Chain A
Amino acid sequence: AQKITQTQPGMFVQEKEAVTLDCTYDTSDPSYGLFWYKQPSSGEMIFLIYQGSYDQQNATEGRYSLNFQKARKSANLVISASQLGDSAMYFCAMREPGGYKLIFGSGTRLLVRP
């Protein structure tokens, strides 16, 4: 069965520093997609970044990048130059081709300190 594991329930980072949020996944399918979402205290789920299993390069979107290590089945989110507005819950999710749902990890709560 597919599974997403986020082992860091909470993390602190100093403003303007970089932070890495861990995500490992388990699937037997060679083709899959990995996603990161941000959920601020207001509750909405905001799509941040996507990585496909066949992508040769790590995905980047502005200050967000995904450190994709396929052999280790990890897809860590790196946030550079942290801002106070980055304080939120972050969820890693996976979707397999032919699958309809996203499978989410338990999330990591990030707090950015001024």
Chain B
Amino acid sequence: DSGVTQTPKHLITATGQRVTLRCSPRSGDLSVYWYQQSLDQGLQFLIQYYNGEERAKGNILERFSAQQFPDLHSELNLSSLELGDSALYFCASSVEVGASTDTQYFGPGTRLTVL
């Protein structure tokens, strides 16, 4: 158990809908990262927050947004869902930011299926 929690574990929804994925980082970790894992794109970085502030954006679509709350949990919002958004979404957390030694610990993931 990495100490990172994600809910829900599975999510099935229809095209055009909006969903929210939730992540709680490990105790003491200030950084939260979101990744998407799909069969065709592999593991892709989406966005990172540090202590409530957005720090970096990756290949995140405009239909997607995220935030980190004062209690450090984070939510990833996916809207106007398309079939291609079906993927495994991971949240990871780490203590620091910007250090090459900083290890990211991953949550169990949320498997999103868009029908």
Contact = CB atoms under 8 A, between A and B. Distances in A.
A30 to B, nearest CB: 10
Interface in B36-58: 42-43, 45, 48, 55-56, 58
- Chain B interface size range: 20 to 34
Interface in A41-73: 42-47, 50, 52-53
Contacts, number: 69
Contacts of B2: 44, 46-47
Nearest to A102: B104
A38 to B, nearest CB: 11
17 contacts: A33-B100, A43-B111, A45-B106, A47-B106, A52-B101, A53-B100, A91-B43, A95-B102, A95-B104, A100-B31, A100-B48, A100-B97, A101-B33, A101-B45, A101-B56, A101-B58, A104-B43
Given A33-B101, A43-B111, A100-B97, 17 more contacts: A32-B100, A35-B103, A37-B106, A43-B108, A43-B109, A44-B107, A46-B2, A46-B106, A52-B100, A97-B98, A99-B100, A100-B45, A100-B55, A101-B45, A102-B33, A102-B43, A104-B42
